[in-house]
Amino acid sequence: MVPLLFDLADFADLPGASPAIAKFPQIDRDVPRLLFLSRVHEKKGVHRLLRAAAILRDRGVPFQLLIAGTGDEPYVSRVRALRDQLELQNHAEFLGFVSGIEKVSLYQVSTLFVLPTSQENFGFVYFEALASGCPVVTTKGTDTWPEIEQSGGGVIASGEPEPFADAIGSLLAEGDGAIHDRGRRARNWTLDYFQPERIVAAYEALYARAARTKGKDPA
């Protein structure tokens, strides 16, 4: 795979946790923070994530789920109602749309980035999280799952609530030190993998190969 060009300028010098804490004082730094940051859409699996969160809560796992993003009102209303139905008001916060320095800071203040998606092509948010040092839990519905796994900071699981909860719980059980090490390795890998010069060279080689095979039988 030749990756998309990805501007890493915002991730070269990370802002730290302060901008996110200032914007969202409801963030609880005394428990692990699970971040969903994407469009709030059915294919992204927010409803499955909430059910996974309920499983973790019932297992006695401490956490706070931070849901950042906006979407179509019918689905947003549905998942807000599901949070209340599952009695997750003390465990799940809807933050709305986040961008800029606050977004990068939110990745940093989070323990894990969690997205039980059913389909993604590239998924910039994964590599933003990894570039911020935040390990990722997602699914094979993401076309870039091998690269996410290769980074050293990604765990791939089924998007159904129980196995997704299992994956999150297993990572949290590793402890802060191991999670931090995963995030550090993933950040280093991401900053290296997405160097613009390397990606441009890969595209040039791709087009050169295509030009050499023009008109030939692809078999």
Domains of the chain: 9-212 (3.40.50.2000)
Query: At 208, which amino acid appears?
Result: A
3-state SS assignment for residue 120: strand
The predicted structure's pLDDT at residue 9: 86
Tokens of 41: 């859409």
What distance in Å separates the CA atoms of residue 135 and residue 210, rounded to the nearest whole number?
Answer: 36
Query: At 28, which amino acid appears?
Result: D
How buried is residue 87: exposed, middle or buried, by Cβ count under 10 Å (0-12/13-18/19+)?
exposed
The predicted structure's pLDDT at residue 65: 98
- Strand 64-68 to 33-37 pairing: parallel
The predicted structure's pLDDT at residue 196: 84
The predicted structure's pLDDT at residue 216: 64
138 membership: H or E segment, kind and range: strand 136-138
The predicted structure's pLDDT at residue 26: 97
């969160």: which residue's tokens? 53
Q: Answer for the pair 152, 186: CB distance below 8 angstroms, yes or no.
A: yes
User: Going by C-beta distance under 8 Å and a sequence separation of 6 or more, which residues neighbour residue 125?
Assistant: 37, 38, 113, 115
What distance in Å separates the CA atoms of residue 168 and residue 136, rounded to the nearest whole number?
Answer: 9
Nearest to 134 by CA among 193, 63, 194, 182: 182
Q: Angle, nearest 10°, between helix axes 161-173 and 176-193?
A: 100
156 membership: H or E segment, kind and range: strand 154-156
The predicted structure's pLDDT at residue 198: 85
Give, for all 219 residues of the chain, the pLDDT tens digit.
777 887 888 899 999 999 999 999 999 999 999 999 999 999 999 999 999 999 999 999 999 999 999 999 999 999 999 999 999 999 999 999 999 999 999 999 999 999 999 999 889 999 999 999 999 999 999 999 999 999 999 999 999 999 999 999 999 999 999 999 999 999 999 999 988 888 888 889 989 988 888 666 655
The predicted structure's pLDDT at residue 10: 87
37 membership: H or E segment, kind and range: strand 33-37
The predicted structure's pLDDT at residue 2: 77
C-alpha 68 chain-centroid distance: 11
Q: Answer for the pair 131, 151: CB distance below 8 angstroms, yes or no.
A: no
Q: Answer for the pair 201, 5: CB distance below 8 angstroms, yes or no.
A: no
The predicted structure's pLDDT at residue 18: 97
Q: Answer for the pair 216, 209: CB distance below 8 angstroms, yes or no.
A: no
The predicted structure's pLDDT at residue 212: 86
The predicted structure's pLDDT at residue 219: 53
Residue 194 is given by DSSP the state: T
Greatest pairwise CA separation for the chain in angstroms: 62
